[in-house]
Amino acid sequence: MQAWHPQMAARQAPEKTESRKVFGQIRRPVKIFRAGLYARVSTDDQQTIPLQVRVLREYAARRGWTIALQVKEVGSGASQRQLREKLLDAARRREIDVVLVWRLDRWGRSVTDLLSTLQELEHLGVGFVSLTEALDLTTPAGRAMAALLAVFAEFEREILRERVRAGLAHARQNGKKLGRPVTAGIHADQVRKLHRAGVSKAEIARRLQIGRTSVRRILV
């Protein structure tokens, strides 16, 4: 049996204290996410935006995320979310790692719009978290939820297609003509003749009782 010597203990101790394994797995440094915060309210409900911002910042702090960008937008539900593009541009430039929102309807105008932006973020490798719905696309469960959103988005598109087809069928039953008017074939010669005579486009449209757009299209 080999005799124990203090130098042997000195050689063995560092191997134990310097081990980077936890339960047999190599310990990796925790990544600090750069978060982009997006708060949105309608024009009639601007008082809640400070609440959204406060809760979003508190959540980011609990997760240990740094806030790289904060966007506050006010507008009606049907309006284009123009300031939202600032966050998407930051994601495209790889300046943020995760987008944090208060609620899904604050971010997306429709299911289709929501899914489109989420797919782009996923392609960019940027996470997405919605607090109210507890939707966290940085986790496997959250990504499974996104797959369900894709099903609902396709359902929404199909409903819109059905409505369009029903509207066209109803218009035909009522004798309405669909498509562009055949102005070019009927009035083209007259339009060109009047234009060569120096008559303005607005006057040509008035005399022939056609739209100014049709006149301009003929004269292109």
Catalytic residue among 19, 42, 79, 200: 42
Q: C-alpha angle 11/13/19, rounded to 5°?
A: 115
Burial readout 67-78 (b: 16 or more C-beta within 10 A, e: otherwise): ebbbbebeeeee
Contact indicator for 72, 49 with CB cutoff of 8 Å = yes
The span from the CA of 168 to the CA of 146, in Å, is 33
Is residue 79 part of the annotated active site? The answer reads no
Give first-to-last CA distance, the chain, whole Å. Answer: 103
Q: How far apart are CA 147 and CA 164, in angstroms?
A: 26
Backbone angles phi, psi at 35, to 5 degrees: -100, 140
State the catalytic residues: 42
